[in-house]
Amino acid sequence: MPMRTLKLTIAYDGTDFFGWQRQASERTVQAAVEDALRPIEGQAVVITGAGRTDTGVHADGQVASVSLTASIGTIELQRALNATLPGDVRVLDIVETPAGFNARFDARSKTYRYAIWCEEVMPPARRRTAWHVPYSLDLHEMQEAAALLVGTHDFAAFQAAGSDVKTTVREITSSKIGNEPSSPAVVYEITGSGFLRHMVRNIVGTMVDVGRRRIPSESVAAILASRNRARASATAPAHGLTLVRVDY
C-alpha cells in the first residue's frame, strides 16, 4: 500500500499526562495516540508533534504528523481513534497532506494561552486550567510589560534553568493580556515562531509580579536584556497553560 502523510489536530487535558513526548514508564499524549494508531496500521507507528508540552500543560490545538499505509478514510480514522483513546485526549481533525509534511519543522508559529484566576475563592471546575492568584492585578501595568516582549529578542532570562539550546533568540509576534469574558480570570496570550522550555510560564510569573506591583512594568525590558534567569520571577504552574493552535 502507498504511504500517506496525515495531519492530526489534537486536544487534551494535560493534568494526568507526563507531557507530550513518549517516555519509557510514564503516561504521555504521544504514546496514547501512537498506541491507538497501532492496531489500525498493523504495526508500531511514530507521530511527530508540533511541540513538546510539559507535564500538566493542556492543548486545544496540538498538531501531529504521521505516515500510514492503512487505507481508512480520515473521518473513519478520527472516529476509530476517539473510540479508543482515553477521555482526556481527542483527535479534533485529520487531513491528508503532501508527502514530507512535518508538524514540527513546517510550523510557522504557535499560540499559547495562560489563565490566572484572580478572586479569593476559585471554582473547583477551574482548578485544572487556571493558576489561582487571589489578588487584584494591575491589568494596565501587565499590558505595558507584555508589549515589551513583541519582536525578535534573546529570551535567555525566561528559559528554564539548565536548558541546552543552540540559540535563545526567538521572534514574538503577539503578546497580550486581558480579561476572560464573563469571568474574573486574567488571560495572557502569546504567539511566536518558537518557544524555549518554560518560557511562557516564566514570562507569566514575571507578569503576575508586575500586576501585583512588586516590579515595575518597564523593568521587563531590563530583565530581557540581562539574559539572566535569576532576574525574572518564579515559574508559573503548568496547569494554567494551554497550547491554543499551531499555524502553518
Provide the number of structural domains found in the chain: 2
Rounded to the nearest 10 degrees, how much is the dihedral formed by the CA atoms of 135, 138, 139, 141?
-140
pLDDT in tens, 154-176: 999 999 987 778 899 999 999 99
Rounded CA-CA distance 95/86 in Å is 22
> What's residue 75's pLDDT?
97
Please say if the pLDDT value at position 215 is more than 90: yes
> What's residue 143's pLDDT?
97
Same-domain pairing of 93 and 116: no
* Residue of 54, 60, 88, 154 marked active site: 54
pLDDT in tens, 193-203: 999 999 999 99
> What's residue 164's pLDDT?
77
Residue 240 lies inside a defined structural domain of this protein:
yes
> What's residue 92's pLDDT?
98
Same-domain pairing of 63 and 135: no
Q: C-alpha cell of 3?
A: 504511504
Same-domain pairing of 114 and 229: yes
Q: Which of 48, 74, 97 is the last residue of a domain?
A: 97
Same-domain pairing of 184 and 84: no
Domain that holds residue 23: 4-97
pLDDT in tens, 111-129: 999 999 999 999 999 999 9
Residue owning grid cell 479508543: 84
Mean pLDDT of 83-106: 97
**Which residues lie across from 205 on neighbouring strands?**
none
* Residue closest to 158 by CA, chosen among 110, 213, 196: 196
Per the annotation, the verdict on 209 as an active-site residue is: no
pLDDT in tens, 217-230: 999 999 999 999 99
Please say if the pLDDT value at position 182 is more than 90: no
* Residue closest to 51 by CA, chosen among 17, 6, 89, 21: 21
pTM: 0.95
Residue owning grid cell 512535518: 102
Same-domain pairing of 146 and 211: yes
Same-domain pairing of 232 and 120: yes
Same-domain pairing of 130 and 85: no
